[in-house]
Amino acid sequence: MRYDPIDPQLFIENRRRLAARLPPNSIAVLNSNDVMPTSADGVHPFVQQTDLFYLSGIDQEESTLVLFPDAREEKHRQVLFLRETSDQIALWEGWKYTPEEGTAVSGVKTVFWNSEFQSVFRGLAAQAERIFLNSNEHPRAGAVVETRDARFGKWCREAFPLHHYGRLAPILHDLRAVKSPVEIERIRQAVDITGQAFRRLLGFIRPGVWEYEIEAEIWHEFLRRRSRGPAFQTIVASGPETCTLHYVKNDKQCREGDLVLIDFGAEYSNYAGDLTRTVPVGGRFSPRQRAVYDAVLRVQKAAIQMLRPGSTLETVNEAVGRIVEAELIGLGLLDPAAVQAQPKDKPLYKKYFPHGLSHHLGLDVHDYGDRFRPFEAGMVFTCEPGIYIREEGIGVRIENDILITDQGPVDLAADVPCEADEIEALMRRPQA
């Protein structure tokens, strides 16, 4: 088994919390992701729809969860539908859930094969007044591929046009923003695997290696530590590409005197880690690189202390912007007089720090959460300031993952090297 199993009590509690938010006589339906095709008979590796996983722990295609808290028969208040396996499927694809295994993983006692879905669901819909549908309403979502949830929504509205319909996304965005102790431990494991990969890289990076070779080392360490692989597309950007925020070609040779910026994160049990480190290819920062690096690290240390209950992303970003502004003046990149005269809605520091400080982290690397919602204990955020000087080919970003607690921020990546002296010392160490 790749992962330590999750106690189904997590999913039972998640379903209970969702059910408590539904109006009377409401059904909620969630579907798995599709297996996405490439061409010919090829497919991409399957990645589960995270809402379905959050509520069931089921990590398999063609799965559907139906919740009907007010169903007349108790057995229909939570129903899981699975792809029916066969000897032929077992021969070509291997193991799939049996109904008993679906119950053991999810805690859902009633499990049917998909062939029974329409007959069961029509009977339940006749009892219900409202049907809550799921959809991807993440503010950064831009996918054009029709999802299984979207197809179900079309069918459902045609089959039951007189029902009232509701959106699950706002409820799930609210619930998933605060992580349980079990979820926090999974995120911690993903971060730890990511940190171990970084330590591996410090003994590998040298002039002449290619960015894709660095990426290969990351994959190797992730897989050997029981991750399924990266939680998102890995960025290995050297030289001028350190100033390209979402550079993913990873096809250049790393050269003496350049920096290499690595933004990467392991997946563990469907939960994501997300770290960024910037290191000198030759093992030693130049004086200018060191000045920029130390400035970013000072910003990060100050920003981490702001991630406390009651703050918001808006207020923290505003405060961090002022700190970045001061560091840029110190680096000779901004003129104090020009800063004093700048338009409030167009701060000059944005030229060198164009992105936000932070995002929610969890089952998705850009996890659910309202940026206007005050921080609460149990939320997990990245903290990733950067300074990008395109005219000098110097880009530095440092990113850690921070747990909000009532006692103050907890850096889940505190053991991952980030001080410039420590990075240089580890890069000089003979490779094992």
Q: Which of the residues are catalytic?
A: 41, 246, 263, 274, 355, 359, 366, 384, 388, 397, 399
DSSP 146-211: PPHHHHHHHHHHHH-TTSEEEESHHHHHHHHTSPPHHHHHHHHHHHHHHHHHHHHHHTT--TT-BH
How many CB atoms sit inside 10 A of residue 187's CB? Answer: 24
The maximal CA–CA distance of the chain, rounded, in angstroms, is 75
With a CB cutoff of 8 Å and minimum separation 6, the contacts of 172 are 18, 51, 54, 134, 368
**Nearest in space to 182 (alpha carbons), one of 57, 348, 26:** 57
SS3 67: strand
Radius of gyration of the chain from Cα atoms? 24
**Nearest in space to 120 (alpha carbons), one of 148, 79, 160:** 79
With a CB cutoff of 8 Å and minimum separation 6, the contacts of 201 are 214, 217, 218, 262, 279
Q: How far apart are CA 134 and CA 153, in angstroms?
A: 8
Q: How far apart are CA 126 and CA 333, in angstroms?
A: 66
SS3 145: coil
How many CB atoms sit inside 10 A of residue 8's CB? Answer: 16
Sole residue written with tokens 């980030």: 418
Strand partners of residue 266 = 230
Please answer whether residues 396 and 293 qualify as being in contact, where contact means their C-beta atoms are separated by less than 8 angstroms. Answer: yes
What would the two tokens of residue 224 be?
């050997």
Helix 287-304 / helix 420-428 crossing angle, nearest 10 deg: 120
Q: How far apart are CA 138 and CA 115, in angstroms?
A: 31
